[in-house]
Amino acid sequence: MDVRAMGRVLRRLRARAPEWNPTALADVADRTRRDPFRILIACLLSLRTKDETTGPASERLFALAGTPETMLRLTPRRIERAIFPVGFYRTKARVIRGVCRDLLARYGGAVPGSLEELLAFKGVGRKTANLVVTVGFGKPGICVDTHVNRISNRLGFVRTKTPEQTELALRKKLPRRYWVELNDLLVAFGQNVCQPLSPRCSICPVRGLCPRIGVIRSR
């Protein structure tokens, strides 16, 4: 698939996106007016956790604390109770407190807006950093999770194996005007239509453009 075809894919997905259930992180962004701190924390909670768990856990935690200062007033145990049952909830409680301490020490509590600065925080990987940059600050970045990785390869736009490889390939090939919306569109598409094992190809808005690479069974 070339760049022109990928552009058509993204335009079709953009038109259909209002019909789909929003992602947990898109919901957090909308409810918090794209607050970079809450987007950062919600993204940390979302790692290896399904959206139906991430959303309620984020709400419970933000009802207790919505800034680095107030978050550090909570004991690790209280954070754990608030975010359970997200995956690795004990580890994530420690990571959240560490990130909050570093935010206060290095930036006066403000979340930095560059990929390099965010990656310097312990526990913050490329997926999280790119999401904060794009959703929290509206800056160009490419956030690649399992959905973006799978769908980009299924469409034949890239030929990669890992999210890191996919991010680098997309940065080279995809025009920057599509970067900010890419994750939200492909994640919602992946959750609602282009699912991992049995994608819903019969109702797919891009089925005429997709070569369905790697698809063995579909609905």
The residues annotated as belonging to the active site are: 127, 145
- The per-type count for the chain, helices as H runs and strands as E runs, is 13, 0
The tokens describing 104, both together, are 């206060």
Give the three-class secondary structure for 23: coil
For residue 205, which of 3, 2, 13 has the smallest C-alpha distance?
13
For residue 89, which of 132, 49, 120, 128 has the smallest C-alpha distance?
49
Give me the long-range contacts of 14-21 (CB less than 8 A, separation at least 24).
14/181, 14/185, 15/205, 16/205, 17/184, 17/185, 17/188, 17/189, 20/188, 20/189, 20/191, 20/192, 20/193, 21/188, 21/191, 21/192
Distance CA 24, CA 30 (A): 10
